Amino acid sequence: MMLRKILAIIAGVIAGIAVITLIQQLSSMMHPMPEGVSMNDMEAFKTWAASLPTSAYLMVILSYVLGSFVGGFVSTLVTRIKFWPAIVVGGILMLMGILNAVAIPQPLWVSIASILCFIPAAWLGARLVKTA
């Protein structure tokens, strides 16, 4: 039973990361980096990031909400246990989001909104799973 719980959390995190990645790839197609800008040149990258429209940052938050929702749903679907596996998945994804916020410059409102969305979205995903 413990192995199932661990696998459920891993599956939830993988599913969440997959959704986050897909949405952020879509966002990067909508808002591509200009020629010559890369993450290796942090000053140029920061300048470009500061020029992004609000819609680009809303896509980041949307990716976190949907990724956490799917991760919570998947972990609960696998374990058939409500809430705590989903909360763990939301917490892991939140830690990854915090690391991302520290590494990549973004407005403070984006950092705050994204940190606040992970666990509630995972909880909501878990809530939608019918358990015995």
The predicted-structure confidence for 33-49, as pLDDT tens digits, reads as follows: 888 887 788 888 888 88
Residue 122 lies in a domain: yes
Residue 70 lies in a domain: yes
Q: How far is CA 44 from CA 58, 90, 113, in A?
A: 22, 32, 25
pTM for the full model? 0.90
* Structural domain containing residue 38: 2-127
| Residue 40 identity | N
pLDDT the model gives residue 8: 95
Q: What is the dihedral of CA 66, 72, 73, 74, to 10 degrees?
A: 110
How many structural domains is the chain composed of?
A: 1
The predicted-structure confidence for 4-37, as pLDDT tens digits, reads as follows: 999 999 999 999 999 999 999 999 899 988 888 8
Residue 132 lies in a domain: no
Q: How many CB atoms lie within 10 A of CB 132?
A: 3
Using the predicted structure, report yes or no on whether residue 132 has a pLDDT greater than 60: no
| Residue 83 identity | F
Residue 85 lies in a domain: yes
Residue 101 lies in a domain: yes
Residue 58 lies in a domain: yes
pLDDT the model gives residue 37: 82
